[in-house]
Structure formats: C-alpha cells, structure tokens
Structure 1
Amino acid sequence: MVLVFSSLGIIFSVWELIARPFAHNYNKGLAYFSLNTWLKASRELLEFLIIAYASFYLVILSLIAVQFVFRYSTLFKPHWAKKFGGFGVVVWMVYSLFSGAVYGGSLYYFCSPDAFTDEYMEYVPENVWILNYRFQRHNL
C-alpha cells in the first residue's frame, strides 16, 4: 500500500502540472477551471484533466484513511491486520479507486457548466476576483 500511495503521489503531482486546476467559490456558485495555456487543448479535454485531478485527490485521501485504519488495527487489534494482506490489499485499493470514481463522476455531473451558472458567474471576475487581487497587491 505504501508503494501505491507514493506512486499515486507522484502521478498526482505530474497531473497537477498538466491540469493546472483553480477553484473559486462565490455565494452559490463554484468556478473550477484550468489555468493551462501551453497545452492548447479543447474544453472537453481540460474538463477531463480537472476531473481526473480531483479524483486523484480523493483516491489519495482515501488511501490515507486506509493507512490510518491499518495502523490503528496493527496497534490495538492485531488480528484485524490480516485483513490488509493478500487479497485484502486489492479490496482496499478498489475501495479507494471507487471513492475517487464516485467523486469524479459527481463532480462532472453536478458541476458541469450550463447557461444558468454562466450567467450567474458572469460578473464575478470583474467584481470579486480582480478586486481581491488588487487588494492583495496593495497589502504586499
């Protein structure tokens, strides 16, 4: 599990360099987009890259939870630790991958851009983002 965790961490870091995700919440809206300019890819590919990035994030988070359960069971319930060996490794990996797939699927389904959200978020960059960045620059 430790090798899988470290491998996923490396893949996650490389994926972040490619996807370059950025998230911004404003009242009832969520703007989750890519700052990637060098790839010159289509919007669909960038959406896929962002969703895969978020899925990798949750897979890593669930692997941390599995590691916690494993270490807890090793210390306090040693007979439970047998569930993490052999076929148990496959079960825990499938659990982590399934949770990432559910998160990525729900992100794609519920956070896809549509006319309502485009209209709602239309004035946000002008009134919120730019003002926030100017405000931060003056404080530096």
Structure 2
Amino acid sequence: MSSEGNYLFWISVTHFVPQVGFFASTVLGSILLFLNNIGCQKIFGSYKHLISSFTTLGMVFATVEILVFPNVHNYNAGFLFFSFENSLGLDGSKTRNIPLAGYTFFHSATISLLSVLFIYRYWAIFDTQKLLLFKGKKALLWVAYCSFFGFQYALGTYFFLELDSISSEYFREEVLIRYHRNISSLPAMSIVAYDPVDGSVRWWNIMGILNICSIVNFQYGVMIYWGYTMHTRMEERIKNFSENMRKHHKQFFKSLVLQVTGYCRTICNNYFRSLLQPLSCLSPSPS
C-alpha cells in the first residue's frame, strides 16, 4: 500500500477472492452435476433438478463475478458500487452499468432459488400434493419467481442507484485519492443518503435501499420461516417413516443449512472488500 493512502494493493487482493470462488464453483459444481445426473436415484424426483439448477446458477453467478469484478466502497454518508473496467465492451453512459446490474440479477435470483429449495423440502415432508407445482410446465412458476426478484433487484439498482451530479461530486476526490481514477470514467452506482450541501434526504436513493432490503429480507424471511417450521415439526412427522427415509430428510435439511451458510460467502466477500479499504468512512468529508 502506498504512502498516499490508495487502496490499489487491497483491490488486487480482493479481486483474487472471486477467482478462487470461480475455480471452486466450477470444479465442485461440475462434480456435483455429474454425480447428481449420473448417480442420483430417481426417488429424488424434482429435487434433483432443483439442485442441478441451483448449482448451475451458482456457477453462472461466479462467472459473472469475475467478468464484472464489482467493488464496494463506503464513504461517510455514501456507498459506492463500481468496477474498474467496462465489461463486455459496454462503454456508453447508459450501458456501462448493465454488467453491474446483471451481477445483482444473478445475486438476487440465486437467493430466491435457495428459498425455493426450503419450500420444496417443507412440502416434501408435510404436503406432498403441492410438489406437483415442481413438475412439467408448472415448474416454470419457480423460474418466473426467481426471475421476478432478479429483475426487481437489477432494475432497482440500475435506476435508483444511478450516479448523478451530486453523488459524482461527492465521491470524485475520494475515488481519485484511493484508486487514482476519475469516477466519471467508471461503471458505478451509488447511494448518498442525504445531500451533503443542504442535508435534504435523497429519496431516489432511499427507494433503492428499500427495494434491496425488501427483496433480501423477504427471501431470508422465507428461509427462516420454512426452515424453522420444518425443524420444529420434522421429528414428529417422520417418526413413522422408514429408517432410510428419515435419514434422507434429515440429510436434506442439513444440506440446506450448509447451502445458506456457503452462500453467505458472497455477502461476506463484498463486506470483506469494504473492510480491506481501511475504514474510508473515517476519512474527512470533501470540502
């Protein structure tokens, strides 16, 4: 790290993390897809396809991450979400943020599909008739479910978090000092909670925050509700099942918990990036 206080060294470090994640997701995901499609017994039914879909989506998400290399920067009343390069050759003022928005699409869709797995496992134990919603054309319902929240997240960030003159000027000096770049040349989105000049609330950005929070809280609320309900009622429900079926249902539940824990890698990774930029929120506000 240079004496000027830039974060370029730490950026190189944090860009290494998603590359490891991409390698692990590709190798382990490929192994899982092979075992799931070659060695998995038919009794797993639609759940096998859900697991394959979740694994594939995770691999796509990891690929998008290394193509976009999103970064997070916290600064006083602001939050900057940006990349150093124009991905996919999109360099127009209206198009260069599309890859960043696409990244958020896959992030939201993956969380949504994870919540669908919890719903499936609950119905597999307590209401098997509803599993018909995962077969044939009815399964498209869940594709629409994940896509809806993916587009809601992506479009919300693209429009509500768009850089304007106020947010650009707010971050301009900070980005120049920390990254030696002109913010006007970077694909970037931002949240500035209030106008640094007159202190007025910037409601457009606030709506972006509410959009993100509503999606994330809803999906994790689904996981917590169905997961907790399944945990508290499972023993009573499966006590009359065969020994093998009891083991299967318990293993499936544990795997879901591990999947939630593993998916937190992405959230922790982004948080880790912001922490590695030594507490920029303590930097003095630009005059």
Same fold (TM over 0.5): yes
Q: How does 1:10-21 map to 2 (within 5 A)?
A: 10-21=59-70
Alignment of 1:104 with 2:250, yes or no, is no
Kindly state the Cα deviation for residue 92 of structure 1 after the two structures are TM-superposed.
0.5
Kindly indicate whether the alpha-carbon contact (under 8 Å) linking 2:109 and 2:150 is maintained by their aligned counterparts in 1: yes
Task: State the alpha-carbon separation in 2 of the partners of residues 108 and 66 from structure 1.
Answer: 26
- 1:47-73 per-position Cα deviation (integer Å, ceiling 9, x unaligned): 111110111000000000011111111
- 1:71-112 per-position Cα deviation (integer Å, ceiling 9, x unaligned): 111112222222222222101011101110111001000111
Kindly indicate whether the alpha-carbon contact (under 8 Å) linking 2:68 and 2:87 is maintained by their aligned counterparts in 1: no
With over 3 angstroms needed to count, the CA separation of the structure-2 counterparts of 1:73 and 1:12, relative to structure 1, is same
Which blocks of at least 5 consecutive residues in structure 2 are unaligned?
1-49, 179-273, 280-287
Please point out which of 112, 115, 121 is paired with 1:62: 112
Kindly state the Cα deviation for residue 131 of structure 1 after the two structures are TM-superposed.
7.3
Task: State the alpha-carbon separation in 2 of the partners of residues 38 and 110 from structure 1.
Answer: 21
Please point out which of 116, 123, 141 is paired with 1:73: 123
Kindly indicate whether the alpha-carbon contact (under 8 Å) linking 1:23 and 1:33 is maintained by their aligned counterparts in 2: yes
Kindly indicate whether the alpha-carbon contact (under 8 Å) linking 2:73 and 2:277 is maintained by their aligned counterparts in 1: no
| Residue-pair matches, total | 133
With over 3 angstroms needed to count, the CA separation of the structure-2 counterparts of 1:71 and 1:104, relative to structure 1, is same
Kindly indicate whether the alpha-carbon contact (under 8 Å) linking 2:105 and 2:150 is maintained by their aligned counterparts in 1: yes
Compute the TM-score of the two structures, normalised by the length of structure 2: 0.41
Q: Secondary structure at the match of 2:80?
A: strand
The aligned counterpart of 2:103 is: 53
1:108 aligned partner, one-letter code? Y
The aligned counterpart of 1:84 is: 134
Kindly indicate whether the alpha-carbon contact (under 8 Å) linking 1:18 and 1:36 is maintained by their aligned counterparts in 2: no
Alignment of 1:132 with 2:284, yes or no, is no
Q: CA RMSD in A?
A: 2.8
Task: State the alpha-carbon separation in 2 of the partners of residues 64 and 102 from structure 1.
Answer: 17
When structure 1 is superposed on structure 2, of 25-34 and 104-113 the one drifting more is 25-34
When structure 1 is superposed on structure 2, of 71-80 and 33-42 the one drifting more is 33-42
Task: State the alpha-carbon separation in 1 of the partners of residues 115 and 70 from structure 2.
Answer: 24
When structure 1 is superposed on structure 2, of 31-40 and 77-86 the one drifting more is 31-40
The percent identity for this pair of structures is: 27
Compute the TM-score of the two structures, normalised by the length of structure 1: 0.80
With over 3 angstroms needed to count, the CA separation of the structure-2 counterparts of 1:70 and 1:106, relative to structure 1, is same
